[in-house]
Amino acid sequence: MPRMLTSRPLHYLLLLLVAGVLFFPNLGAHALWDVDEAHNAECAREMLDGENWIVPTFNFVLRTDKPALLYWLMILAFKWFGVGEFAARFWSATCGVGSTLLTYELGRRMFNPLTGLLAGVALASSFMFCVSSHAATPDALLIFWVLATFLAFWRSYSHGGQGWLMVCGVTMGLAALAKGAVGLVLPVGILGLFLIWERRLWMLLNWRLLAGLAIFALVAVPWYALVGHDTKGAFLRGFFLKHHVERFQQPMEGHGGFFLFHPLVFLVTFAPWSAFLGATVWYALGRRGRGDSTSASAAAEPHLRPASPYRLLWCWFGVWLVFFSLAGTKLPNYILPAFPAFAILTGRFLARWIEGEVQLSRAWMATAFGVVVAVGLAISAGLVVVSGQLPQVPLDGRVFPELLYLAPVGLGFVLAGATSVVLLYRDRRGLAVGVVACSAVACLAVLAGVGPILVAEHKAPLALAEAIAQHQQEPEVEIGCLGFYQPSLVFYTQRKIYNFAKPIEAVDHLHSVKQSYLLIPQGHWEQLRRQVEVPTTVVGSHWDFMAAQQIVVVSNRPANARAGQALGGATTASPVSPGPPTGSGQATSITQR
């Protein structure tokens, strides 16, 4: 086998290049996304500002949604890079790179180097995983530590050892600090089911199990104990009862769905590699999986069966998918930790096909490459639609004209799929897969690096926060919202935001003796201003695609020399554009003010 197909250092360099190109370009070039990114970043900023590493707060009140590991890492990044979007997303991108390498290593140890390489590329260039590696959320951290758990397990188990019982205590403890009980319960369930399938459950009858539990407790329990003590149990009740038990029992925040929601989500979000899903499943089940005689672990360790790696991967993927399919609350990111398992299965199928170990009709693989073409056409068509080029499609004002420039990117998949079909019939299997891989990396890098910047121009919070900063005349101001509220407003103003439920509350806010600002949809302000009895100034406005409205910033002070016009006597509003702009400028990112 050529050295390029077996060299670990060369594979690491290639995967670092792939992951770096996919995850880091323009990472901090666009504003935070509401709601999750903004919640997490502001929570970390408040903990940093208050020199508090225990109790998470958002908008200066207790936040019980997530544990502390993500916040701690963000705080470190804020110290290194300054408070801003790049720092907030840095660890997600870094964990994305790490997960790519761990997937490679696990695939290599289970099977062979080519399997690991293809698995790493497939994971990194799958749509949803790439998104998670750009997002200031705990998903990338959870994926990394779950992967580390299974790599530690396999490295020990495949050599007949039981040291994994202690190492997994560390990795599961960190997974629990990343996203809660799911970091312990599901990996334990997966490993338990696998050992039952392997008829090796007796391996748990070992003192190392108690040691592993003790290590897990040392890693995860202290923070939970401290935050429980400092909040008098409020965090633990909110986190475990509401965000664990209630989320599983019933849909929360409108995130419901039927049983097949997650399988369908996987089919879409694992693209373009879901094009090979049918063949991957067919050749990884039953006799076809047991017939894989080139398993690296099985070849090196006689006690392992050729089917053992397949069993672990199916337990991993299946348990994660079924568990969240049974849950009441359903979100696409919930199944992300199962992506590495299927990436390895996909990499294994493609490696066996390239090496000629499995034979299937050309029509089958031509169909798979045809799906890659369909993915490209769907991307291009979707971008044309959301750019507003088809007026007959109702978009409720959520139009992004600039995305039309990205529509040709989808043609990269079309060209790759068509080229791979030609190569298939010339029996150039490795090159056919390589073309798909290169197109996936190149096209997704452009979409991930440029697309968010174009969409961010249509988000209001950053631009409105900068308008407030330019107009602010007094050291202490109060900011409120009526009919429009986004969590990123808290991050960009670095102040408490009052979200009013009633118009009278907003009127009283503007009547305050303090300098006050009100963020409100333009149409609402036209009605509310008749009730305001103090002079006001509209100091800024911006279209927000999430609200599908023009949002204005109203101040109860006259404009300063840098912004707006003083409107003495009568309450009025400055002229603003009546609809979504065709190219409203994106204000620059802030650092610590």
Last residue of a domain, one of 421, 456, 491: 456
Residue 561 binned pLDDT confidence (cut-offs 50, 70, 90):
very low
- The yes-or-no verdict on residue 20 having pLDDT over 70 is yes
Residue 559 binned pLDDT confidence (cut-offs 50, 70, 90):
confident
Q: Which amino acid is at 85?
A: E
Angle at 259 (CA atoms; ends 256, 263), nearest 5 degrees: 105
Do 306 and 401 have their domain in common?
A: no
- Tens of pLDDT, residues 368-386: 999 999 999 999 999 999 9
Structural domain includes residue 175: yes
Average pLDDT, the chain: 89
Q: What per-residue confidence (pLDDT) applies to 593? A: 29
Rounded CA-CA distance 544/37 in Å is 17
User: Looking at the 3D structure of the chain, how many domains does it have?
Assistant: 3
8-13: list long-range contacts, CB under 8 Å, 24+ apart. 8/108, 8/113, 11/104, 11/108, 11/113, 11/116, 11/117, 11/120, 12/101, 12/104
What does 434-478 look like in DSSP terms, one character per residue? HHHHHHHHHHHHHHHHHHHHHHHTT--HHHHHHHHHHH--SS-EE
Rounded CA-CA distance 125/444 in Å is 7
- The yes-or-no verdict on residue 361 having pLDDT over 50 is yes
- Tens of pLDDT, residues 289-337: 555 655 555 555 656 777 899 999 999 999 999 999 998 888 899 999 9
Strand order in the sheet with 497-500: 497-500, 477-482, 515-521, 549-555, 537-544
Do 220 and 285 have their domain in common?
A: yes
Structural domain includes residue 63: yes
Structural domain includes residue 586: no
Q: What per-residue confidence (pLDDT) applies to 366? A: 95
- Tens of pLDDT, residues 140-178: 999 999 999 999 999 989 887 777 888 999 999 999 999
Do 89 and 69 have their domain in common?
A: yes
Structural domain includes residue 568: no
Last residue of a domain, one of 360, 392, 409: 360
Residue, of 123 and 156, whose pLDDT is higher: 123
Q: Is the dihedral of CA 141, 586, 413, 270 positive or negative?
A: positive
Tokens coding 445: 């890098």
Rounded CA-CA distance 465/419 in Å is 49
Rounded CA-CA distance 176/555 in Å is 45
Do 39 and 118 have their domain in common?
A: yes
- Tens of pLDDT, residues 3-19: 666 889 999 999 999 99
- The yes-or-no verdict on residue 592 having pLDDT over 90 is no
271 within 8 A of 375, measured Cβ to Cβ: yes
- Tens of pLDDT, residues 169-210: 999 999 999 999 999 999 999 999 999 998 888 877 888 888
Q: What per-residue confidence (pLDDT) applies to 389? A: 87
Do 254 and 348 have their domain in common?
A: yes
- The yes-or-no verdict on residue 581 having pLDDT over 90 is no
- The yes-or-no verdict on residue 589 having pLDDT over 60 is no
- Tens of pLDDT, residues 34-53: 999 999 999 999 999 999 99
Do 305 and 350 have their domain in common?
A: yes
Do 9 and 146 have their domain in common?
A: yes
Rounded CA-CA distance 98/162 in Å is 25
- The yes-or-no verdict on residue 80 having pLDDT over 90 is yes
- Tens of pLDDT, residues 370-426: 999 999 999 999 999 999 888 877 777 788 999 999 999 999 999 999 999 999 999
- The yes-or-no verdict on residue 574 having pLDDT over 70 is no
CATH number at residue 486: 3.40.190
Structural domain includes residue 70: yes
- Tens of pLDDT, residues 225-271: 999 999 999 999 999 998 888 887 888 776 777 789 999 999 999 99
Residue 575 binned pLDDT confidence (cut-offs 50, 70, 90):
very low
- Cα-flanking dihedrals φ and ψ of residue 150, to 5°? -75, -30
Q: How far is CA 29 from CA 126, 137, 158, 528, 589, in A?
A: 22, 17, 44, 36, 7
350 within 8 A of 118, measured Cβ to Cβ: yes
Last residue of a domain, one of 456, 472, 487: 456
Do 90 and 104 have their domain in common?
A: yes
The residues pairing with 480 across neighbouring beta strands, listed in sequence order, are 498, 518
Do 104 and 18 have their domain in common?
A: yes
Do 291 and 355 have their domain in common?
A: yes
SS (H, E, C) 233-245: CHHHHHHHHHHHH
Do 393 and 309 have their domain in common?
A: no
Distance of CA 16 to the CA centre of its chain: 19
Structural domain includes residue 224: yes
**Mean pLDDT along residues 418-445:** 96
Residue 557 binned pLDDT confidence (cut-offs 50, 70, 90):
confident
Structural domain includes residue 560: no
- The yes-or-no verdict on residue 586 having pLDDT over 90 is no
Q: What per-residue confidence (pLDDT) applies to 301? A: 60
**Mean pLDDT along residues 438-443:** 96
Do 100 and 244 have their domain in common?
A: yes
Question: In which domain, by residue range, is 435 found?
Answer: 362-456
Question: Exposed, middle or buried, 77 (CB in 10 Å: 0-12/13-18/19+)?
Answer: buried
Structural domain includes residue 564: no
90 within 8 A of 27, measured Cβ to Cβ: yes
Share of the chain above pLDDT 70, in %: 90
